[in-house]
Amino acid sequence: ANMECCLRLWRKEDAPDLAAAINNPKILDCLRDGLPYPYLEKDALEFINAMAQHQGKQEAFPFAITVNDRAIGSIGVFRKDNIHYRTAELGYYLAEQYWGQGIGTSAVKQMCEFIFLKTDIVRIFAMPFSHNLASCRVLEKAGFVLEGELRKNVVKNGEFYNMKMYSLLKD
């Protein structure tokens, strides 16, 4: 069954669901460093409180991905600065039990529609690790174009990895 997902602002009550979703090495291994493992409810609350600071501003747009109003993942678009101020970076993850059901693609499409409708951003880009085939697939299904591969662009868990550069342009 293809579950309907919605995006909404984070709430303090999401902390247990957020901690449960992200407390998974398979997810953390695909994200940037700096997230604790194990990831506790207090870490989730800190994140939710930090995200609340962005509300009403035009630099960052963090949302919970929800099914039946329960947080099952995270998605955010973060504006760049200086000459890149009309460009923003997209990031997301889903709890493992929701992988492979089209939810990531739906969330990315909803997010990009919102950003292009409500802001002056004209380019949204995402840089998944090249070996993260599922994430690359999500972006492709959401209409992103692969612009190239960034070789040895990151060091994660002591290994060099390539990243892929995907983008979606407004109109």
Nearest to 73 by CA among 158, 141, 145, 134: 134
- 66 Cβ contact partners less than 8 Å away, ≥ 6 residues apart: 5, 6, 7, 8, 72
Q: What is the mean pLDDT of residues 34-42?
A: 90
Which amino acid, one-letter code, is at 26? Answer: K
pLDDT at 127 over 90: yes
Could you read off the pLDDT of 40-67 as tens digits, one per residue?
A: 999 999 999 999 988 888 899 999 999 9
Q: What was the pLDDT predicted at 34?
A: 83
Q: Is the pLDDT of residue 1 over 50?
A: no
Task: Return the half-sphere exposure (C-beta side, CA atoms, 13 A cut-off) of residue 33.
Answer: 6
Is 12 exposed, middle or buried (CB count within 10 Å of its CB: 0-12, 13-18, 19+)?
A: exposed
- Distance between CA atoms of 80 and 104, rounded to whole angstroms? 23
Give yes or no for a contact between 31 and 24, defined as CB atoms under 8 angstroms apart: no
- Residue 32 pLDDT exceeds 90: no
Cα 144 versus chain centre, distance: 14
* Res. 37: pLDDT tops 70: yes
Buried b (16+ CB within 10 A) or exposed e, 66-91: bbeeebbbbbbbebeeeeeeebbbbb
* Whether pLDDT at 27 is above 70: yes
